Amino acid sequence: MRRVPRCVSVLLLGGVVVGAGCSAPARRASIAVGAPIDRGEVSAAFAERAKFLHSLKALAKLRYTDPRERYSSRQAIAVARPDRVRVEVTSIMGTVFVLAARNQRLSAYWPEENTAFEGLATPEHVWRYTRLWMPLDTLVDVLLAVPGGGQAEPTPCPEEDAQYVCLRQASAGQGAVMVALDGRGLPVEAVERSAVDGSVLWRARYLGYSEDTVPPAAEHIVIDVPRYRRSVSLELSDIEINPPLGDDAFALDLPPGVRVVDLDEQEGGE
């Protein structure tokens, strides 16, 4: 299987390499403990948020770190529930990379290499181009700041999160997602743990929300994959809530002559 070029991935949007002095991932912000929280109202507010939010467009500044690499890039993103994603990496020279996913299929296109890769949106293929081990529908909900918003139910919070309201939702074959909410019903942190050993598969921390959108949109998200010591920091701007995005917005129109590689055939031949 072809390796993803260094510094070019969706949500890792290739591009500009950052020196070793780039800043470390931000920690989750804490909130002051005020009046007692009505847990029922907080849960209801989050449920309404999950029902209302279905799509988002934004510009993003991304910072990626792992034990061997650190880099940053700029991207334009669009997501729509349940599992439609488009990410375009840009530079001063134009488009560097595009990932488009819809109807359980994905396409990855490198204009400079005149090559596109297409196949099923399996966890393995999503991992290859995002380095985030989560299905596309989970990724969409994380970016909309409604993780576990479908059928999440109240659950006791860990001691360190006692000032929040926590919800839990079973995840498909992987264990469960737990979400910590502040008094407004906005996620502060979401964690998915493995059903096998309870280890953290991924953690999303919400470090800031925009007050220019209704409801507030997450404008700073840090996603960690502890197993591989990977961290992706996304700072969003020019955010549009619930823009009309049809299937065409997530289609990849390739120029004539582009070499197309079938990811599923390539994987099956290994």
In DSSP notation, 180-223 reads: EE-TTS-EEEEEEEETTT--EEEEEEEEEE-SSSSSPPEEEEEE
Determine contact, residues 194/170, Cβ cutoff 8 Å. no
Spell out the domains of the chain, with CATH numbers in brackets: 16-268 (2.50.20.10)
pLDDT tens, residue order, the chain (270 aa): 334 443 344 454 433 333 333 344 444 444 444 556 788 999 999 999 999 999 999 999 999 999 998 988 899 999 999 999 999 998 888 889 999 999 999 999 999 999 999 999 988 888 888 878 788 999 999 999 999 876 788 899 888 888 899 999 887 666 899 999 999 999 999 999 988 888 999 999 999 999 899 999 999 999 999 999 999 999 999 999 999 999 899 998 888 999 999 998 865 544
How far does Cα 183 stand from its chain's mean position? Answer: 23
Q: Measured between alpha carbons, how far is 12 from 65 in angstroms, rounded to an integer?
A: 10
Tokens for 266, please give them.
């390539």
Pairing relationship of beta strands 153-154 and 230-241 according to DSSP bridges: unpaired
Q: Is 49 helix (H, G, I), strand (E, B) or coil?
A: helix
- Looking up tokens 């299987």 gives 1
| This prediction's pTM | 0.84
Helices (H) and strands (E) in the chain, counts: 4, 15
